[in-house]
A and B are shown apart, each in its own frame.
Chain A
Amino acid sequence: MATTTPTRGAPTPPAGGSGAVPNGRGTWRSRLWRLDDLASPYAYIAPFFLVFGAFGLYPLLYTGWIALHRVEMTSLSTSEWVGFDNFTKILQDSEFWTAVTNTFLIGVISTVPQLLVALGLAHLLNYKLRASTFWRTVVLTPYATSVATAALVFALVFRADGGILNWVLHFVGIGNTDWGNGEWTSKIAISVIVIWRWTGYNALIYLAAMQAVPTDLYEAASIDGATRWQQFRKVTIPSLRPTILFTIVISTIGSMQLFGEPLLLQGGTLGSTGGNEHQYETLSIYLYNYGWKLGHLGPAAAVAWAMLALLLLIALINLIVGRFLRKSAA
């Protein structure tokens, strides 16, 4: 709300040449005004920064502190300075690199189909439909379920022995897939859960952006004889570019934090090590296993910081690509 006006904060006009203040009440009020002008903006934004400081910045810095110490789950009160040992430890651990690769691979095979399907869904929802609100709600329902519920149900679907999917597949003669144990099948299974949960969410974001595309563009295009497909490609997609970039960033962050789905796909010890041979261990799982199951919080914190570094790297790439795209579009 823009309530303040430049004049309000201006000092009261000097009365007479002496510069004496006419009455105390006026000064008090003007001081209050000035204070209001100076302080209120900070007060308005303070809640965010306080919350961010307590739940964002402080944990971030504290994690950094832990990453440089030896801290054990069994004795949190004692810590010992180890410098960058924890970082060298995880960087030399082949399991860490497996986790990086897995996170990246699962990220790609879940994000790409997800966004493509979302785009298609949004396009369909953008037509004049009967009960459009109903359909939009339906599309968003998976997003409203909890990760744990979704993962547990899908774990049943993907179960090797007596899973629904294998039962269906056995009609075409391929019902023996051990989804959770396979190098690729496990990654696909996890991606399916992610895709199922997030497609509708992204579709709605695209839909919102699509509705903001001025209709005159389409009218002009159809006068020029553009087919629907051409309209979609040449009008819709370019108008959606910032939104697409946004969803890519959000999905990337999401896949970097992928945790519940791999943890619960097989559950138990297997879940916390990301499968027998870490075939679906993501970075978050690696962090969790190191910190909570093995009880070494130092390396776990180092993993957290490594994840931050990776995210920043991806953001940088995104920025460069985005700039390049804008330039080529111009």
Chain B
Amino acid sequence: MRITRTGRRGRRAAALTTTVLTASALLLTGCSSDSGSDASDSNGNITLTVADFGQFGYKEADLFAKYHKLHPKITVKEETTANEQDYYPKLLQQLNTGSGLADVTGIEVGRIKEVVDTQAAKFTDLSKTINVSDWVSWKEKQATASDGTVIGAGTDIGPMSLCYRKDLFQQAGLPSDRDAVAKAVAGGWEDYLKLGEQYKKKAPSGTYFMDSASAMYNAVVSSSAQQYYDASGKPIYKDSPSVQQGWNLAAEAASKKLTHGLAQFTDAWTAALRKGSVATVACPAWMAGQISTNSGDAFKGKWDIAKAPGSTAANWGGSFLAVPKSGKHAKEAAELVKWLTAPEQQAEVFKAIGVFPSNKGAYDLPGVKNATLPYFNNAPIGQIYADEAKTIPEAVLGPKDATIKDTISTQINNMEQRGTKPADAWKAATEAIDKVIG
């Protein structure tokens, strides 16, 4: 055996290498990026950045290009974070440090209360630019701070429906026509579970009745005025009837194995949609876009949309656009927000991906009233949602709604996937939520 020889010098070299490597290891820290905004050149051309999450539909409806055509000096750049749970902490950090903020930022309904309560001073009062009474009234209330400033413009609301796979329903011997499906579940979510049991008996192999029981849970909770907090701001989720009802239904779905048990918006979930192994999804309006994007062309026309079980009027999700005061072009940004949330533009987005307008003025536009979604077998979504939108209860929001919802969803997933006993899962959920509320 021959060892390459280096001798004494080698030892010093080795020591040096070691030191250098150590130093480099210790210096290897994270990196951060700062998205620059507020660019403007000598000709007065400006770039406005819009930070949002998930799918706001502006790209799909080509609205930013249109805005540029109307205002040649303004270019709009969109920065989208896929997952809202990643987006919001980043937004809070940017608000804290005052740097990296976009000119327009999206805020989800589960967060709006916390932002209104703690960050209102950092946002422009949009009621000066926009006629806020155009929106459905509860949407306006949600974005209004205690001093009367309105910090967010409603982009959309999430009225509930049921998305289902027509072809799978046929194969399983269930009614597949959208009115017949609506009738079969007319009694509410209990009927939905009964339908699931029927489906399971003749389910095409490898398919599941629903993607996740947590989706059903959310649909149930979001149909109630009282959710996780009471009007005085006290968390009451432990005794909230809607939480209990949703939880029990989810536990039942899990024990009867009617669900695929996939946490929504994860890779596994999108993969299941792509493979087509999910027969129904509790479907707030914006979910249609998620389904069509993730399922892809292979399932075009195989999906359909029916009224939600029990004709539930619910609002799940929906967002706001806010304008941070720190932006250099806050005025232009507010104008952009006004334009984006105007009836005509909301109608465009609705037509493109089914995200439902929050602006009442849009409901009577023919583009909304008569809208159908080709991907979903030309389901008349305009009709389905417009009636419902008028009867959605005014939900009491709390600062940690979104995190509480996610925490409970995780435990529902545990019941589905790991067979965790409902009592244990509930205990784990309450412990985690107590930490959230902190």
Contact = CB atoms under 8 A, between A and B. Distances in A.
Interface in A272-315: 272-273, 276-277, 290, 292-296, 299
Given A269-B406, A270-B263, A276-B414, A127 B1 contact: yes
Interface string A62-94: 000000000011111000000000000000011
A206 to B, nearest CB: 10
Contact of A276 (B17, B272, B417): B417
A211 B10 contact: yes
A270 B85 CA distance: 11
B266 A126 contact: no
Interface in B84-137: 85-86, 89, 92-93, 96, 114, 117-119
Contacts of A270: 263, 266, 410
A159 interface: yes
Interface in A230-255: 231, 243, 246, 250, 254
Contact of A211 (B4, B89, B431, B432): B4
Interface stretch (A29-37, A109-117, A187-195, A212-220): A212-220
A162 B435 contact: no
A250 B25 contact: yes
A277 B414 contact: yes
A231 B1 contact: yes
A267 B266 contact: yes
Contact of B119 (A74, A213, A228): A74
B21 interface: yes
Given A181-B418, A211-B10, A205 B18 contact: yes
Contacts of B272: 161
Contacts of A93: 435
Interface string B1-33: 111111100110110011001100100000000
A181 B417 contact: yes
Contacts of A94: 431
B414 A73 contact: no
Secondary structure of the B contact surface, majority rule: helix
Contact of B271 (A161, A210, A215): A161
A126 B4 contact: yes
B268 A295 contact: no
B198 interface: no
Contacts of A292: 89, 93
Contacts of B18: 205, 208-209, 243, 246
Interface in B228-247: none
Contact of A269 (B4, B410, B418, B428): B410
Given A268-B83, A269-B406, A276-B413, A294 B438 contact: yes
A214 B7 contact: yes
Point out which of B7, B14, B272, B399 has the most chain A C-beta atoms below 10 A from its C-beta: B14
Interface residues of B, number: 51
Contacts of A243: 14, 18
A80 B409 CA distance: 32
B92 A74 contact: yes
Chain A interface size band reads 35 or more
B92 A208 contact: no
Contacts of A277: 414, 418, 420, 428
Given A269-B410, A270-B266, A250 B418 contact: no
A127 B438 CA distance: 59
B417 to A, nearest CB: 7
Contact of B14 (A74, A128, A209, A290): A209
A40 B83 CA distance: 53
A277 to B, nearest CB: 6
A269 B110 CA distance: 15
Nearest to A290: B435
B85 A268 contact: yes
B267 interface: yes
A293 B418 contact: no
B14 A208 contact: yes
A95 B86 CA distance: 21
Contacts of A154: none
B80 interface: no
A166 interface: no
B403 interface: yes
Point out which of A94, A201, A295 has the most chain B C-beta atoms below 10 A from its C-beta: A295
B294 to A, nearest CB: 14
Given A162-B271, A266-B266, A272 B6 contact: no
Contact of B5 (A215, A222, A272): A215
Contacts of B2: 127-128
Nearest to A250: B25
Given A76-B96, A212-B14, A266-B266, A128 B418 contact: no
A164 interface: no
Contacts of B1: 127, 218, 222, 228, 231
B96 A269 contact: no
Interface in B409-437: 409-410, 413-414, 417-418, 420, 428, 431-432, 435-436
Contact of A128 (B4, B92, B119, B399): B4
A205 B263 contact: no
A108 interface: no
B6 A212 contact: yes
Contacts of B418: 181, 276-277
A272 B267 contact: no
Contact of A273 (B7, B17, B410): B410
A160 interface: yes
Contacts of B93: 73, 292
Given A127-B2, A213-B3, 8 more contacts: A73-B92, A74-B114, A127-B1, A211-B10, A243-B18, A270-B263, A293-B89, A295-B92
9 contacts: A72-B118, A75-B118, A127-B3, A269-B409, A270-B263, A270-B266, A272-B85, A276-B410, A294-B435
Question: Which are the 6 A-B pairs with shortest beta-carbon distances?
Answer: A212-B11, A74-B118, A208-B14, A212-B14, A212-B10, A292-B89
